[in-house]
Amino acid sequence: MNAINLKVNGKAHAVDVDPTTPLLYVLSDDLALNGPKFGCGLGQCGACTVIAKGQAIRSCITPVKSVEGAEITTLEGLGTIEKPHPLQQAFIEEQAAQCGFCVNGVIMTAKAFLDKNPKASEEQIQQAMSSVLCRCFTHVRMLRAINRFREGRAREGLAKEGRTREAAAK
């Protein structure tokens, strides 16, 4: 066993685990986080997705040692019940979750993708989301929620740009 230092959802944690332990087990068992789920255990379904180093990664196949010191964000780190992240709010408004099992992977994958590609087309979003499996077939509502978030971000960016131009003109 080794002490491994992690930064999860903005908080520092030291865990005493085997360095090859999958990150998912540390998040769920040691840190009691419920966002990432054990799905296939092979990194194929996406239920265990978290964001590390700005990338959506599959925590079920990621050795905890490989993300030591990196900022790790789980679904719990995006928002709260009282103040959900805008992407979580879009999912609520579109009623995009059914059983909820894949939602972690969908939201975390979408967030990481749109953080890097804020002007992505619907086709690009669909391609990025194709690696996350959902058995409930709520894909249409999920894509509507993701697009709602992307469009809201775009409007926010335009408004911010307008305020910046106004300030520069003064």
pLDDT per residue as tens digits for the range 84-138? 999 999 989 888 887 777 899 999 999 999 999 999 999 999 999 988 987 776 6
Residue 143 pLDDT class (50, 70, 90 cuts): confident
Q: Quick one: average pLDDT of 67-78?
A: 96
Of 79, 38, 31, the residue nearest 59 (C-alpha): 38
Where do the structural domains in the chain lie, given as residue ranges? Answer: 1-77, 78-170
- The pLDDT, as a whole number, for residue 157 is 62
- The pLDDT, as a whole number, for residue 110 is 94
- Is the domain defined by 1-77 classed in CATH 3.40.50.970? no
Q: Indicate the pTM of the whole model.
A: 0.84
Instruction: Give the CA count within 13 Å in the CB-facing half-sphere of 33.
Output: 26
Q: Which CATH superfamily includes the segment(s) 78-170?
A: [2Fe-2S]-binding domain (1.10.150.120)
- The pLDDT, as a whole number, for residue 35 is 94
